Structure 1
Amino acid sequence: MTGQTPSHSERVDWLRLARTRQVGPVTFNKLIQRFGNAADALDALPDLARKGGRSNALRIVSREQAEQEIEATHDAGARLQIASEPDYPGLLATLDPPPPVITIRGPLVPDDHACCAIVGSRNASAIGLRFARDMAASLGRAEIVIVSGLARGIDGAAHAGALETGTIAVLAGGIDHIYPPEHADLYGDIGESGLLVTESAIGTSPTARDFPRRNRLISGLALGTVVIEAALRSGSLITARFAAEQGREVMAAPGSPLDPRAKGSNRLIRDGAALVEDANDVLDILHQAKRPATAEPPAEPYDPADAETGDGTDHDRLQSLLSPSPVPIDELVRQSGLPPGLVHAILLELELAGRANVLPGGNVQQAWPEDQD
């Protein structure tokens, strides 16, 4: 998506499209591929949502609301970056799809450094906290910038260890939302010398759906992810899964089999993640890591001709196959018997109608309740 620096009007339209609730990153990407620019995509939204079965008007973010966000972001000492501009972080640009808009605050430029993510348990042990802090400090001395999520436990220890050498904190809420509150000083220090990053608009508090998006950014900003003390049901494992899907290195520190906080990280090692015991192990892996290539547009992008061949019956057929659990789009193609291009076209319309959520990685699920308003 990267290209020339957009005009102010183009930036506003891009932000309006990205902030419209029913437009997820996959659908955003497909709309840009189809219409070529955000302005034309915005004009088409009401009709596409109607085709998807939406009965009430789609709430499209107004130009005034977008201008207000830009101004509020600037007043907070932060700035917006959109995926079409040249200084958008290169590693994020390789994601399929990249986050359409990010808000950043701080002087650190990710593309000027090699970055490694360190994530793990919020309820970490004392030895785990020390290990994370020492590893982050050692990697920092080797000119590696540490990326993490500003959470309690391992995340906070990793940021603290890398404060002097450079660290990036990815937030689930708006750039002005400090969570947890006890990390206010850490948040301030990172904003002064490192970088704060979020997909969420300024002034918003995070919801459950925002944390996987945050985890995707953590892994997306780094060449590799190190997991330290992660339980079997841990957000850190989601970050590791995103890293693997993004073609990044996945590493884990082994822990005691008697400690439930280590069961997830130990399983990662069993399943093929690299075992790391110190910063040198991580450096060896990062030095051999290949920088991911920018994702190529799909062979069959959203084709307007496909949408014209579908009808309400096809929309209902796909809707009936969805559940709260994500399902691969390829599976929907097989189960529905519909052509792949038509399935992609209908899913775009279903998302705009608030009936589906199309997720990065080629999956789709029923819409969250708040998207069905």
Structure 2
Amino acid sequence: MTAPRALGDADRIDWVRLARTPNVGPVTFAQLLHRFGTPAAALDALPELTRKARRRFQPPSRADIERELEQTRQYGARIIASCEPEFPQLLKALDPPPPVLATLGNTDLAAQPTVAIVGARNASAAGRKMARDMAGGLGQAGWVTVSGLARGIDGEAHAASLQTGTIAVLGGAVDHVYPPQHDRLYAEIAAKGLILSETAFGHRAKAQDFPRRNRIITGLCRGVIVVEAAERSGSLISARMAGEQGREVMAVPGSPLDPRSAGTNRLIRQGATLVRHVDDVLEVLDSLPLTGVSAPLTPFADPAASGAPPEDLQTRILQALSFNPMPIGEIARAAGASYPQCAAMLMELELAGDAVTLPGGLACRAA
């Protein structure tokens, strides 16, 4: 998105203000930054962009962000922007990356070889042992384990890799221990590993936060191992995201009689790599290329090249949108627009509450 650079205090406040603006997610943040060059310029332009919107897009005040930065610092954590050198490189290559991350612990772990282990919260004894064995063996082989601090598979993977390196990605803020039963595990990871969060200090996790958390888990890693997962589960969403990001998806097979294995067995049928133990996983990881693990970047709108859009272009693009996400190129084709025109208009439609742009160069009509 931008060349690596350290942010000064004023720039950091502007960056976080834009990232924390309601209804400005990672895609819109990236498009605004591409269009206006800096968060400060985007913040200045936001009132005019949203003048006709049905919803208000009010950035938090500078005082609010200064307070968040100070609270984060006092807690022992820090906020890093996606443009900064310390930001995890694999995550930075996502289309687009989360604009900011709060970090607590050893940030060097995110620069080491990483693999995610995810699975069922109501995991079986066999699934729990598999997660422990894989996390422990991968740690001994030099891999850092990434997971989401949930009950079941996540917790087992974290606990088994505390001494070799583990990263917990939270749905809530970096100071929010969830589930509360993992308060001791959280403290150990903060002391020996790394805790990451995309959300503002003090935020308590809600259901809509976990897909974004899962995207960070998979984005941090070269590969993802699903140990147990039901047919409808967050772990399968993580596996889909991993595939979209160009990560290797691995799954542990299970009994067809156990609903906790229905999702992993289906992943294998759909092409995920079957893994039985840590040696299988290491064989897969060792075969992966060192580059090319991230999805191709979305070509954002170029204001200089797009020209002035026709007056009815917004109507045509809105008509071309459906509730099912579609590639922006297909939307542009249906609306008779260029890709840059369509991308620029989609940003304005999203700010108006009529469209949603999604990672991977997709967009859909707002619900």
Pairwise TM-score range, normalised by the shorter structure? over 0.9
Which ranges of 4 or more aligned residues in structure 1 deviate by more than 6 Å? none
Aligned-residue Cα RMSD (Å) equals 2.0
Please give the alpha-carbon distance, in whole angstroms, between the structure 1 residues aligned to 2:330 and 2:39. 30
Please give the alpha-carbon distance, in whole angstroms, between the structure 1 residues aligned to 2:57 and 2:158. 41
Q: Which amino acid letter does the alignment assign opposite residue 209 of structure 1? A: Q
Q: CA deviation at 1:55?
A: 4.3
Q: Which residue of the partner structure matches residue 301 of structure 2? A: 301
- Percent identity between matched residues is 50
Q: Contact conserved, 2:54 with 2:353, CA < 8 A, in 1?
A: no
Q: CA deviation at 1:145?
A: 0.7
**Structure 1 gaps, min length 5:** 369-373
**Residue-by-residue CA offset, 1:178-209 (whole Å, 9 max, x unaligned):** 11111111111111110001111111122232
Please give the alpha-carbon distance, in whole angstroms, between the structure 2 residues aligned to 1:165 and 1:69. 31
Partner secondary structure for residue 251 of structure 1: strand
Indicate whether 1:287 and 2:286 are aligned: yes
Please give the alpha-carbon distance, in whole angstroms, between the structure 2 residues aligned to 1:307 and 1:101. 32
Please give the alpha-carbon distance, in whole angstroms, between the structure 2 residues aligned to 1:4 and 1:90. 13
Partner secondary structure for residue 309 of structure 1: coil
Give the number of the structure with larger relative contact order, counting CA–CA contacts within 8 Å between residues 6 or more apart.
1
**Residue-by-residue CA offset, 1:121-147 (whole Å, 9 max, x unaligned):** 111111111111111111111121100
Q: CA deviation at 1:8?
A: 0.9
Partner secondary structure for residue 122 of structure 1: coil
**Residue-by-residue CA offset, 1:46-102 (whole Å, 9 max, x unaligned):** 11223xx40454211221111111011111111101011111111111111111101
Partner secondary structure for residue 109 of structure 1: helix
Q: Contact conserved, 1:307 with 1:346, CA < 8 A, in 2?
A: no
State how many pairs are aligned. Answer: 365
Q: Which residue of the partner structure matches residue 371 of structure 1? A: none
Indicate whether 1:170 and 2:166 are aligned: no
Q: Which residue of the partner structure matches residue 238 of structure 2? A: 239
**Residue-by-residue CA offset, 1:141-189 (whole Å, 9 max, x unaligned):** 1121100011111111111111121110000111111111111111111
* Residues 366 and 177 of structure 1: CA distance in aligned 2, closer, same or farther (over 3 Å): farther
Q: Contact conserved, 1:307 with 1:345, CA < 8 A, in 2?
A: no
Partner secondary structure for residue 209 of structure 1: helix
Q: Which residue of the partner structure matches residue 53 of structure 2? A: 54
Within 5 Å, give how 1:1-373 maps onto structure 2: 1-50=2-51, 53-55=52-54, 57-293=56-292, 298-299=298-299, 301-303=301-303, 306=306, 308-311=308-311, 313-367=312-366
Q: CA deviation at 1:310?
A: 4.1
**Residue-by-residue CA offset, 1:277-317 (whole Å, 9 max, x unaligned):** 11111111111212345777655534266473243x43344
Please give the alpha-carbon distance, in whole angstroms, between the structure 1 residues aligned to 2:314 and 2:30. 21
Q: CA deviation at 1:331?
A: 3.1
Please give the alpha-carbon distance, in whole angstroms, between the structure 2 residues aligned to 1:220 and 1:143. 19
* Residues 4 and 252 of structure 1: CA distance in aligned 2, closer, same or farther (over 3 Å): same
Please give the alpha-carbon distance, in whole angstroms, between the structure 2 residues aligned to 1:185 and 1:323. 46
Q: Contact conserved, 1:171 with 1:196, CA < 8 A, in 2?
A: yes
Q: CA deviation at 1:231?
A: 1.2
Q: Which amino acid letter does the alignment assign opposite residue 113 of structure 1? A: Q
TM-score, structure 2 length as denominator?
Answer: 0.93
Please give the alpha-carbon distance, in whole angstroms, between the structure 2 residues aligned to 1:83 and 1:112. 14
TM-score, structure 1 length as denominator?
Answer: 0.92
Q: Contact conserved, 1:80 with 1:101, CA < 8 A, in 2?
A: yes
**Structure 2 gaps, min length 5:** none
